[in-house]
């Protein structure tokens, strides 16, 4: 590829990113026994959680701000390219079955669209116009949160998504794996988890991808805890869409109430299979209709609904 000023500038930019750095001590890794390579990879992976731990205050602040907005009806939107985009789509897709979130409440945008989930779409990560169009199609409000995800922190799709979202008044979070990134500078809440150079130079699906997955797990899970989607560590808003989840829903009701199988079955039948409602029926003695009303008045928070039932 012939050199151009733009290409030279990009090369210079990448040369300063820790995620692109070369590790000379691994230059002969292809000559090592398989077990030795696996040992090196495992040791590398063990450093990721510590890197995330160093950014916990920033992560918690972003989560609190997100939960505050989602409690008012806002949405959580992830935007990224390649591995980062796929991780966002993965996290978003897990929220409806795990927390019974409404369709469109947690959204994953990936550069290149659905096709990019399975195959690389050439040039998609550089398409700032596509990011602007994807964000515009959502009709963002100040109660929405957009999380741009990019290992390098410079991916045009992610940076543009955050920039446009912030201009629209939405809350913005920039998740990257390099310090002083463009993505972090564009966001209200920068989260820069520096994991260092990769085992394979520049392959950010490795440590950087693991770090991003850990942080996205925190953002969605803790936000849903704050929204009352759990009771303790029980997934009481679970949507039982298959046999395994139906069995799990009964187990959750049993753990929360100590009721026997017959009582659990009766409560779930009376409440249309709603785990949270069934627990309230069993623990407070109210009927299904009253349970539904109490939960609605409590904003879906089971603990608050139980307290209200005790005060009746």
Active-site residue list: 94, 125
Spatial distance between the Cα atoms of 236 and 98, rounded to a whole number of angstroms: 9
Q: How many CA within 13 A on the CB side of residue 221?
A: 11
Spatial distance between the Cα atoms of 300 and 102, rounded to a whole number of angstroms: 13
How would you list the strands of the sheet with 106-110, edge to edge? 106-110, 76-80, 145-149, 171-176, 189-192
Spatial distance between the Cα atoms of 162 and 166, rounded to a whole number of angstroms: 6
- The token pair that represents 84 in the structure block: 């980062």
């Amino acid at each position: 590829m012939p050199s151009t000023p733009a290409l030279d500038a990009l090369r210079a930019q990448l040369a300063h990113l820790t995620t692109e750095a070369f590790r000379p001590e691994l230059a002969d890794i292809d000559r090592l026994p398989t077990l030795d390579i696996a040992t090196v990879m495992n040791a590398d992976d063990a450093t990721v959680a510590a890197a995330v731990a160093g950014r916990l205050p920033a992560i918690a602040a972003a989560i609190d701000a997100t939960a505050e907005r989602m409690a008012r009806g806002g949405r959580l939107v992830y935007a990224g390219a390649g591995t980062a985009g796929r991780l966002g789509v993965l996290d978003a897709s897990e929220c409806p079955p795990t927390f019974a979130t409404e369709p469109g409440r947690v959204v994953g945008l990936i550069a290149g669209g659905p096709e990019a989930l399975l195959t690389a779409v050439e040039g998609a990560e550089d398409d700032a116009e596509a990011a602007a169009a994807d964000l515009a199609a959502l009709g963002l409000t100040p109660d929405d949160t957009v999380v741009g995800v990019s290992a390098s922190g410079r991916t045009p799709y992610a940076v543009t998504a955050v920039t446009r979202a912030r201009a629209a008044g939405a809350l913005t979070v920039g998740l990257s794996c390099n310090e002083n990134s463009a993505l972090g500078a564009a966001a209200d809440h920068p989260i820069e988890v520096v994991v260092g150079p990769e085992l394979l130079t520049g392959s950010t699906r490795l440590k950087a991808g693991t770090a991003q997955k850990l942080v996205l797990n925190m953002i969605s899970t803790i936000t849903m805890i704050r929204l009352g989607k759990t009771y303790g560590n029980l997934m009481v808003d679970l949507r039982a869409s298959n046999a395994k989840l139906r069995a799990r829903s009964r187990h959750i009701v049993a753990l929360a109430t100590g009721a026997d199988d017959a009582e659990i079955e009766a409560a779930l039948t009376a409440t249309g299979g709603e785990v949270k409602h069934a627990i309230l029926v069993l623990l407070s003695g109210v009927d299904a209709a009253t349970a539904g009303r109490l939960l609605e008045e409590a904003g879906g928070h089971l603990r608050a609904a139980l307290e209200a039932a005790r005060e009746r």
